[in-house]
């Protein structure tokens, strides 16, 4: 495919997504229908689509319309390229520019943040003078990060193994187990290092969060909102103990037994009714459902789908999880609350609300990791009981 044909395909896909089709579904359907497209074509079109979704408002302003076509015109202008060079109407290229498309309009300050209007003051209240910086960071692609399983080898050994499959990775600063992939990102899942359990795909912020939690051999550990189980495996990679994973949607955990076997650790998947059988726990980790605002680089659709009502519903779920899980913690154990959010309503406010209604608990520490070159945005707080 020519660069112009890729732009046209991306514009058509963006129209489907703007009409309500999930991005992954639209991209998968297009790939199945378009057998002529090679892997580089599919990757380029995917990048076009996600870049446009991250920058929906500013690209729409630059391109004259919040349509697939307008977003791709805006994307080219944002990259310093004249869209007329590709919008020629020749072959499979998009048709030439007309009318308002010919006249670029600079985005307003609000449009440049690429957030819904209602969310801008929420960002500013949560992040203060860092709000614009974080909003800007969320407009670019997230890094591809790996966690080295130190049960299997060292970072240097992982780097060498990845290089054998033409993947370039470098040590990251955010965690002693973290690598950042600089070349060959799309080869990781088929690499020998991944297949052998030497590395796992895991964001640097997740690794830093696990590093922050004090654990020791022999502990009884529950990952209550385990999702795919990445943090469960990360903790199990650090100590010898008993590890349990639970999620309200068990399908999210279907691959965990295989991944645990590959990582040479043992994790038991448990349903809610079984939790009391294995309690009390020395550590209960609750990486609760949230807006995902710290990881919107990876799932930019969520940025535009979030509403104030949805945020309030999430806050209720988050508080309910804290209420349900604190009773599973042993007398000297820890309850770690975590989100991949940068919003105060989901972070500090939830901890303050819990402490206000549970005077026998205290916060040992809390920490924010803002989205950066090695990590998504995360928040964590460690809660313990007052000693009797």
Work out the number of other CB atoms within 10 angstroms of the CB of residue 165.
15
Rounded CA-CA distance 57/55 in Å is 6
What does the pLDDT read at residue 388?
63
Structural domains in the chain, CATH included, are 3-114 (no CATH), 144-201 (3.30.70.1170), 204-385 (3.40.50.150)
User: How buried is 354 (Cβ within 10 angstroms: 0-12 exposed, 13-18 middle, 19+ buried)?
Assistant: buried
Look at residue 104 in the predicted model and tell me its pLDDT. Answer: 87
In contact, 147 and 160? CB cutoff 8 Å:
no
d(CA 126, CA 346): 10
Question: Can you give the pLDDT of all 388 residues of the chain as single tens digits?
Answer: 999 999 999 999 999 999 999 999 999 999 999 988 998 999 999 999 999 999 999 999 999 999 999 999 999 999 999 999 999 999 999 999 998 899 889 999 999 999 999 999 999 999 999 999 999 999 999 999 999 999 999 999 999 999 999 999 999 999 999 999 999 998 999 999 999 999 999 999 999 999 999 999 999 999 999 999 999 999 998 999 999 999 999 999 999 999 999 888 999 999 999 999 999 999 999 999 999 999 999 999 999 999 999 999 999 999 999 999 999 999 999 999 999 999 999 999 999 999 999 999 999 999 999 999 999 999 999 999 987 6
Compute the radius of gyration of the chain from its Cα atoms. 23
What CA–CA distances, in Å, run from 193 to 154, 260, 266, 340?
A: 12, 15, 20, 27
Query: Dihedral of the CA atoms 62, 64, 66, 68 (nearest 10)?
Result: -90
Rounded CA-CA distance 293/347 in Å is: 12
Cα 78 to Cα 51, 66, 96, 99: the distances in Å are 11, 15, 18, 19
Instruction: With CA atoms as reference, report the closest residue to 170 among 188, 160, 369.
Output: 160
Q: 195, 132, 126: which is closest to 158 by C-alpha? A: 195
**β-strands 329-339, 281-287 pairing:** parallel
Angle formed by the axes of helices 348-357 and 308-325, nearest 10°: 40
Helices (H), 326-374: 348-357
């Amino acid at each position: 495919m020519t660069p112009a044909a890729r732009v046209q395909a991306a514009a058509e896909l963006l129209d489907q997504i703007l009409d309500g089709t999930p991005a992954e579904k639209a991209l998968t359907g297009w790939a199945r229908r378009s057998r002529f497209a090679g892997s580089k074509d599919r990757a380029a079109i995917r990048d076009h689509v996600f870049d446009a979704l991250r920058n929906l408002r500013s690209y729409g302003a630059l391109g004259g319309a919040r349509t697939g076509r307008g977003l791709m015109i805006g994307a080219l202008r944002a990259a310093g390229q004249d869209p007329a060079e590709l919008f020629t109407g020749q072959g499979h290229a998009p048709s030439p520019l007309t009318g308002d498309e010919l006249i670029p309009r600079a985005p307003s300050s609000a449009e440049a943040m690429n957030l819904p209007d209602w969310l801008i003051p929420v960002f500013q209240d949560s992040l203060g003078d860092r709000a614009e910086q974080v909003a800007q960071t969320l407009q670019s692609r997230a890094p591809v990060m790996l966690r080295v399983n130190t049960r299997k080898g060292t970072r240097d050994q992982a780097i060498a193994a990845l290089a054998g499959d033409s993947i370039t990775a470098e040590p990251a600063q955010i965690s002693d187990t973290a690598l950042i992939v600089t070349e060959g990102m799309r080869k990781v899942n088929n690499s020998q290092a991944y297949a052998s359990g030497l590395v796992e795909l895991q964001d640097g912020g997740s690794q830093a969060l696990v590093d922050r939690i004090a654990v020791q051999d022999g502990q009884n550990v529950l990952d209550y909102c385990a999702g795919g189980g990445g943090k469960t495996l990360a903790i199990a990679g650090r100590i010898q103990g008993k590890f349990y994973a639970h999620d309200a949607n068990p399908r999210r955990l279907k691959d965990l037994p295989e991944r645990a076997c590959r990582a040479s650790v043992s994790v038991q998947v448990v349903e809610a009714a079984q939790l009391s059988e294995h309690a009390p726990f020395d550590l209960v980790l609750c990486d609760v459902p949230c807006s995902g605002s710290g990881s919107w680089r990876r799932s930019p659709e969520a940025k535009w789908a979030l509403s104030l009502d949805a945020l309030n519903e999430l806050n209720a779920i988050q508080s309910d999880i804290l209420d349900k899980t604190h009773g599973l913690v042993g007398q000297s154990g820890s309850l770690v609350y975590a989100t991949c959010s940068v919003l105060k309503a989901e972070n500090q406010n939830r901890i303050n609300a819990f402490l206000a209604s549970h005077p026998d608990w205290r916060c040992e520490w809390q920490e924010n990791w803002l989205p950066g070159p090695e990590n998504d945005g995360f928040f964590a707080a460690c809660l313990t009981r007052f000693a009797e």
